[in-house]
Amino acid sequence: MRMSLLPLLLAVHAPAAPQQAAEAIPVGVPRWSREVVLSGSRLEVLPPDLETPLIVRIDSVSPHGTAWRYDFEYYGLEPGSFNLVDYLRPEDGAPLVGLAPIPVLIESGLPPGQVLPHVLRSGETPTLGGYSRTRWIFGSLWVLGTLVWFFTSRRSAALESAQKGAPAPSIAELLAPLVERGMAGELPTEEQAQLELMLIAFWRKRLSLEGANAGEALQTLKSHAEAGPLLRELERWLHSPDAASDLDPAALLKPYQDLSKSEWDEAAAQLASQEATD
Protein backbone atom coordinates (compact mmCIF):
# COMPACT_ATOMS: atom_id res chain seq x y z
CA MET A 1 0.00 0.00 0.00
CA ARG A 2 2.86 2.37 0.89
CA MET A 3 4.60 1.62 -2.39
CA SER A 4 1.45 2.47 -4.35
CA LEU A 5 1.04 5.84 -2.60
CA LEU A 6 4.64 7.03 -3.20
CA PRO A 7 4.17 8.09 -6.85
CA LEU A 8 1.01 9.97 -5.90
CA LEU A 9 2.77 11.88 -3.09
CA LEU A 10 5.68 12.80 -5.36
CA ALA A 11 3.24 14.09 -7.98
CA VAL A 12 1.50 16.29 -5.40
CA HIS A 13 4.67 17.83 -3.95
CA ALA A 14 6.82 18.10 -7.10
CA PRO A 15 7.23 21.69 -8.37
CA ALA A 16 5.19 22.47 -11.46
CA ALA A 17 7.17 23.36 -14.55
CA PRO A 18 6.80 27.01 -15.66
CA GLN A 19 4.29 27.46 -18.46
CA GLN A 20 5.33 28.61 -21.90
CA ALA A 21 4.01 31.95 -23.10
CA ALA A 22 0.79 31.35 -25.03
CA GLU A 23 0.92 34.40 -27.25
CA ALA A 24 2.83 37.56 -28.02
CA ILE A 25 2.07 40.56 -25.79
CA PRO A 26 1.94 44.12 -27.15
CA VAL A 27 4.43 46.64 -25.76
CA GLY A 28 3.14 48.27 -22.56
CA VAL A 29 0.23 45.84 -22.03
CA PRO A 30 0.41 43.96 -18.67
CA ARG A 31 0.03 40.18 -18.38
CA TRP A 32 -0.15 37.81 -15.41
CA SER A 33 1.28 34.37 -14.77
CA ARG A 34 -0.50 32.69 -11.85
CA GLU A 35 0.44 29.72 -9.66
CA VAL A 36 4.02 29.48 -11.00
CA VAL A 37 5.99 27.06 -8.76
CA LEU A 38 9.75 27.59 -8.61
CA SER A 39 12.13 25.54 -6.50
CA GLY A 40 14.97 26.84 -4.38
CA SER A 41 15.19 30.02 -2.30
CA ARG A 42 12.41 32.60 -2.23
CA LEU A 43 12.83 35.04 -5.12
CA GLU A 44 12.51 38.78 -5.48
CA VAL A 45 12.51 41.11 -8.50
CA LEU A 46 15.77 42.65 -9.68
CA PRO A 47 15.65 46.47 -9.35
CA PRO A 48 14.96 47.92 -12.83
CA ASP A 49 16.94 50.73 -14.44
CA LEU A 50 16.46 53.00 -17.46
CA GLU A 51 17.50 50.21 -19.85
CA THR A 52 15.37 47.37 -18.41
CA PRO A 53 13.16 46.08 -21.30
CA LEU A 54 10.83 43.93 -19.18
CA ILE A 55 9.19 45.18 -15.97
CA VAL A 56 8.27 42.39 -13.54
CA ARG A 57 6.29 42.54 -10.30
CA ILE A 58 5.47 39.75 -7.83
CA ASP A 59 1.79 40.06 -6.88
CA SER A 60 1.90 37.28 -4.28
CA VAL A 61 4.13 34.46 -3.05
CA SER A 62 3.37 31.48 -0.79
CA PRO A 63 5.16 28.27 0.27
CA HIS A 64 4.67 25.15 -1.82
CA GLY A 65 6.40 22.31 0.03
CA THR A 66 10.10 23.03 -0.33
CA ALA A 67 9.41 25.38 -3.23
CA TRP A 68 7.48 28.65 -3.66
CA ARG A 69 4.35 29.53 -5.59
CA TYR A 70 4.30 32.94 -7.34
CA ASP A 71 1.83 35.21 -9.09
CA PHE A 72 3.72 37.41 -11.56
CA GLU A 73 2.66 40.60 -13.34
CA TYR A 74 4.86 41.87 -16.18
CA TYR A 75 4.87 44.08 -19.25
CA GLY A 76 7.43 44.91 -21.92
CA LEU A 77 8.90 48.29 -22.81
CA GLU A 78 10.37 47.14 -26.11
CA PRO A 79 9.71 44.23 -28.50
CA GLY A 80 11.70 41.02 -28.22
CA SER A 81 11.95 37.59 -26.58
CA PHE A 82 12.77 37.54 -22.88
CA ASN A 83 13.12 35.08 -20.02
CA LEU A 84 11.18 36.24 -16.95
CA VAL A 85 13.58 34.29 -14.70
CA ASP A 86 16.42 36.61 -15.78
CA TYR A 87 14.67 39.46 -13.91
CA LEU A 88 14.54 37.59 -10.56
CA ARG A 89 17.08 36.89 -7.86
CA PRO A 90 17.11 34.92 -4.57
CA GLU A 91 16.37 37.01 -1.48
CA ASP A 92 19.19 35.28 0.47
CA GLY A 93 21.83 36.18 -2.13
CA ALA A 94 22.36 32.61 -3.31
CA PRO A 95 23.07 32.01 -7.02
CA LEU A 96 20.07 31.47 -9.29
CA VAL A 97 20.47 27.96 -10.77
CA GLY A 98 18.31 25.10 -11.95
CA LEU A 99 15.18 27.09 -12.89
CA ALA A 100 13.39 26.40 -16.14
CA PRO A 101 12.98 29.48 -18.35
CA ILE A 102 9.70 31.37 -18.45
CA PRO A 103 9.64 32.79 -21.99
CA VAL A 104 7.89 36.10 -22.65
CA LEU A 105 7.38 37.43 -26.18
CA ILE A 106 6.77 41.18 -26.58
CA GLU A 107 5.70 42.56 -29.95
CA SER A 108 5.35 46.12 -31.20
CA GLY A 109 2.06 47.48 -32.48
CA LEU A 110 3.86 49.94 -34.77
CA PRO A 111 4.87 49.17 -38.36
CA PRO A 112 8.58 48.57 -38.98
CA GLY A 113 10.92 51.45 -39.80
CA GLN A 114 9.91 53.74 -36.94
CA VAL A 115 12.47 56.32 -35.76
CA LEU A 116 13.27 55.67 -32.11
CA PRO A 117 14.04 58.50 -29.62
CA HIS A 118 17.49 58.86 -28.11
CA VAL A 119 18.20 56.57 -25.17
CA LEU A 120 18.10 58.41 -21.84
CA ARG A 121 21.29 58.16 -19.81
CA SER A 122 21.51 58.79 -16.09
CA GLY A 123 24.09 61.26 -14.82
CA GLU A 124 24.75 64.26 -12.64
CA THR A 125 23.20 67.61 -13.42
CA PRO A 126 25.87 70.29 -14.02
CA THR A 127 25.97 73.12 -11.51
CA LEU A 128 26.37 76.81 -12.32
CA GLY A 129 26.94 77.93 -8.75
CA GLY A 130 23.37 78.81 -7.86
CA TYR A 131 21.01 81.66 -8.70
CA SER A 132 22.13 83.86 -5.79
CA ARG A 133 25.79 83.65 -6.73
CA THR A 134 25.04 84.40 -10.38
CA ARG A 135 22.86 87.36 -9.38
CA TRP A 136 25.61 88.83 -7.18
CA ILE A 137 28.24 88.40 -9.90
CA PHE A 138 26.16 90.16 -12.54
CA GLY A 139 25.02 92.79 -10.03
CA SER A 140 28.61 93.57 -9.05
CA LEU A 141 29.71 93.77 -12.66
CA TRP A 142 26.80 96.09 -13.45
CA VAL A 143 27.58 98.42 -10.52
CA LEU A 144 31.29 98.39 -11.32
CA GLY A 145 30.55 99.19 -14.95
CA THR A 146 28.29 102.05 -13.84
CA LEU A 147 31.02 103.52 -11.63
CA VAL A 148 33.66 103.13 -14.32
CA TRP A 149 31.35 104.82 -16.82
CA PHE A 150 30.54 107.57 -14.31
CA PHE A 151 34.14 108.42 -13.54
CA THR A 152 35.20 107.96 -17.16
CA SER A 153 32.51 110.35 -18.31
CA ARG A 154 33.55 112.78 -15.58
CA ARG A 155 37.14 112.46 -16.72
CA SER A 156 36.12 113.12 -20.32
CA ALA A 157 34.18 116.17 -19.17
CA ALA A 158 37.22 117.34 -17.20
CA LEU A 159 39.44 116.95 -20.25
CA GLU A 160 37.02 118.94 -22.34
CA SER A 161 36.88 121.63 -19.66
CA ALA A 162 40.66 121.73 -19.46
CA GLN A 163 40.88 122.15 -23.22
CA LYS A 164 38.50 125.06 -22.95
CA GLY A 165 40.56 126.63 -20.16
CA ALA A 166 38.19 125.65 -17.33
CA PRO A 167 39.65 123.91 -14.26
CA ALA A 168 39.09 120.13 -14.02
CA PRO A 169 36.65 119.00 -11.32
CA SER A 170 38.25 117.90 -8.09
CA ILE A 171 37.71 114.50 -6.43
CA ALA A 172 35.42 116.25 -3.97
CA GLU A 173 33.27 117.51 -6.84
CA LEU A 174 33.15 114.01 -8.32
CA LEU A 175 32.11 112.48 -5.00
CA ALA A 176 29.61 115.18 -4.05
CA PRO A 177 26.57 113.73 -5.93
CA LEU A 178 27.18 110.26 -4.46
CA VAL A 179 27.60 111.61 -0.93
CA GLU A 180 24.47 113.74 -1.18
CA ARG A 181 22.40 110.79 -2.46
CA GLY A 182 23.84 108.54 0.24
CA MET A 183 23.01 110.93 3.07
CA ALA A 184 19.50 111.32 1.62
CA GLY A 185 19.04 107.52 1.54
CA GLU A 186 18.78 107.49 -2.27
CA LEU A 187 22.01 105.66 -3.11
CA PRO A 188 21.42 101.92 -3.82
CA THR A 189 23.21 99.44 -1.55
CA GLU A 190 25.29 98.06 -4.44
CA GLU A 191 26.62 101.53 -5.30
CA GLN A 192 27.35 102.20 -1.61
CA ALA A 193 29.39 99.00 -1.41
CA GLN A 194 31.31 99.84 -4.58
CA LEU A 195 32.00 103.38 -3.38
CA GLU A 196 33.32 101.96 -0.11
CA LEU A 197 35.65 99.63 -2.04
CA MET A 198 36.88 102.58 -4.13
CA LEU A 199 37.62 104.69 -1.06
CA ILE A 200 39.45 101.83 0.67
CA ALA A 201 41.54 101.14 -2.44
CA PHE A 202 42.32 104.85 -2.84
CA TRP A 203 43.40 105.44 0.76
CA ARG A 204 45.34 102.18 1.06
CA LYS A 205 47.41 103.22 -1.94
CA ARG A 206 47.80 106.82 -0.74
CA LEU A 207 48.79 105.79 2.83
CA SER A 208 51.00 102.87 1.67
CA LEU A 209 48.79 100.22 3.35
CA GLU A 210 48.56 97.89 0.36
CA GLY A 211 50.74 95.28 2.05
CA ALA A 212 48.84 95.35 5.33
CA ASN A 213 46.15 92.87 6.36
CA ALA A 214 42.74 93.93 5.00
CA GLY A 215 41.11 94.07 8.46
CA GLU A 216 43.96 95.99 10.05
CA ALA A 217 44.12 98.38 7.08
CA LEU A 218 40.39 99.09 7.35
CA GLN A 219 40.63 99.87 11.08
CA THR A 220 43.57 102.19 10.39
CA LEU A 221 41.63 104.01 7.68
CA LYS A 222 38.53 104.44 9.85
CA SER A 223 40.60 106.11 12.55
CA HIS A 224 42.56 108.27 10.08
CA ALA A 225 41.82 111.99 10.28
CA GLU A 226 41.22 112.40 6.53
CA ALA A 227 40.07 108.95 5.37
CA GLY A 228 37.96 108.09 8.43
CA PRO A 229 34.95 110.48 8.33
CA LEU A 230 33.54 109.44 4.94
CA LEU A 231 34.29 105.74 5.51
CA ARG A 232 32.45 105.81 8.85
CA GLU A 233 29.54 107.63 7.23
CA LEU A 234 29.43 105.00 4.48
CA GLU A 235 29.33 102.30 7.14
CA ARG A 236 26.32 104.04 8.68
CA TRP A 237 24.54 104.08 5.30
CA LEU A 238 25.12 100.34 4.87
CA HIS A 239 24.30 99.15 8.37
CA SER A 240 22.09 101.87 9.90
CA PRO A 241 20.36 103.57 6.96
CA ASP A 242 17.54 104.96 9.14
CA ALA A 243 19.86 106.60 11.67
CA ALA A 244 20.01 110.39 11.37
CA SER A 245 23.30 112.12 10.59
CA ASP A 246 24.23 115.68 11.57
CA LEU A 247 27.39 115.71 9.42
CA ASP A 248 27.90 118.36 6.77
CA PRO A 249 28.59 116.93 3.26
CA ALA A 250 31.13 119.70 2.69
CA ALA A 251 33.00 118.61 5.83
CA LEU A 252 33.04 114.99 4.65
CA LEU A 253 34.43 116.04 1.27
CA LYS A 254 36.98 118.56 2.56
CA PRO A 255 39.89 116.02 2.67
CA TYR A 256 39.34 115.36 -1.05
CA GLN A 257 39.52 118.99 -2.24
CA ASP A 258 43.22 119.06 -3.03
CA LEU A 259 43.91 115.40 -3.77
CA SER A 260 45.33 114.31 -7.12
CA LYS A 261 42.78 113.09 -9.67
CA SER A 262 45.34 110.68 -11.11
CA GLU A 263 45.51 108.79 -7.79
CA TRP A 264 41.76 108.26 -7.87
CA ASP A 265 41.94 106.99 -11.48
CA GLU A 266 44.72 104.56 -10.55
CA ALA A 267 42.67 103.22 -7.63
CA ALA A 268 39.63 102.78 -9.90
CA ALA A 269 41.70 100.89 -12.49
CA GLN A 270 43.25 98.70 -9.79
CA LEU A 271 39.84 97.84 -8.32
CA ALA A 272 38.44 97.02 -11.77
CA SER A 273 41.40 94.70 -12.40
CA GLN A 274 40.84 92.89 -9.07
CA GLU A 275 37.11 92.45 -9.81
CA ALA A 276 37.86 91.00 -13.23
CA THR A 277 40.44 88.60 -11.74
CA ASP A 278 38.02 87.39 -9.03
Residue 120: per-residue pLDDT: 63
Residue 6: per-residue pLDDT: 45
- 236-276 tens-digit pLDDT: 777 766 665 667 777 777 878 777 677 777 777 776 776 66
The whole-angstrom distance between residue 239's C-alpha and the CA centroid of its chain comes to 31
- Counting residues of the chain whose pLDDT is more than 70, the rounded percentage is 76
**Would you say 84 and 72 are in contact if contact means Cβ atoms under 8 Å apart?**
yes
Please determine, for residue 83, whether its predicted confidence score (pLDDT) is greater than 90.
yes
Q: Which of 191, 189, 187, 217 is nearest to 205 (CA)?
A: 217
Mode of pairing for the β-strands spanning 43-45 and 103-107: unpaired
Q: pLDDT: is 232 or 60 the higher one?
A: 60
Domain borders along the chain are 8-107, 131-277
Residue 130: per-residue pLDDT: 64
Please determine, for residue 194, whether its predicted confidence score (pLDDT) is greater than 70.
yes
* Residue 26: exposure state from Cβ atoms within 10 A (0-12, 13-18, ≥19): middle
- 30-44 tens-digit pLDDT: 999 999 999 988 999
Residue 117: per-residue pLDDT: 67
Q: Indicate left, alpha or beta for 177 from its phi (over 0: left) and psi (-120 to 50: alpha).
A: alpha
> Hey, which of 60-64, 115-119, 229-233 has the most confident mean pLDDT?
60-64
Residue 24: per-residue pLDDT: 87
- Counting residues of the chain whose pLDDT is more than 90, the rounded percentage is 22
- Residue 197: CB partners within 8 Å, gap ≥ 6? 271
The whole-angstrom distance between residue 35's C-alpha and the CA centroid of its chain comes to 50
Least confident span in 40-44, 101-105, 113-117, 162-166: 162-166
Q: pLDDT: is 250 or 90 the higher one?
A: 90
Indicate the pTM of the whole model.
0.38
Tell me the mean pLDDT in the region 38-56: 92
The whole-angstrom distance between residue 232's C-alpha and the CA centroid of its chain comes to 38
The whole-chain average pLDDT of the chain stands at 78
